[in-house]
Amino acid sequence: QVQLAESGGELVQAGGSLRLSCAASGRTFSNYAMGWFRQAPGKERECVAAISRSGSSTYYTNSVKGRFTISRDNAKNTVYLQMNSLKPEDTAVYYCAAAQNWAAWNVQPGSASRYGSWGQGTQVTVSS
């Protein structure tokens, strides 16, 4: 299991941008596929974006395509989520997650069941 810590969540106006970071502990970060999830009040937790171990493959939920970009720097044990053109409906707690089984991750990268380690979350609030 890897320890994860998110940062970067803030209050931002609609149309603005934020960059979330997820720092992972240990020396096996490159063995994990990574994902960003979010949970808004009254809604189920959903996968926003995911990225393979090497960063060669990415996944985005339809509502953020063209606005959000997931990336990773394995040398720094860090995953990023660049969020542009933010909307009020993007308001949520954002969680970083790590998937150990890369084969299962490839089948359903947006499924929470593929991820075994989770950060504590960072609040993103977008005002209208």
| CA distance between the termini of the chain | 39
Q: Where are the beta strands (DSSP E) in 25-67?
A: 33-39, 46-51, 58-60
- Report whether 16 contacts 33 (CB < 8 A): no
**Pairing of β 122-127 and β 117-118:** unpaired
Sites in the chain below the pLDDT cut of 70: none
Contacts of 64 (CB under 8 A, 6+ apart): 48, 49, 83, 90
- pLDDT at residue number 117: 95
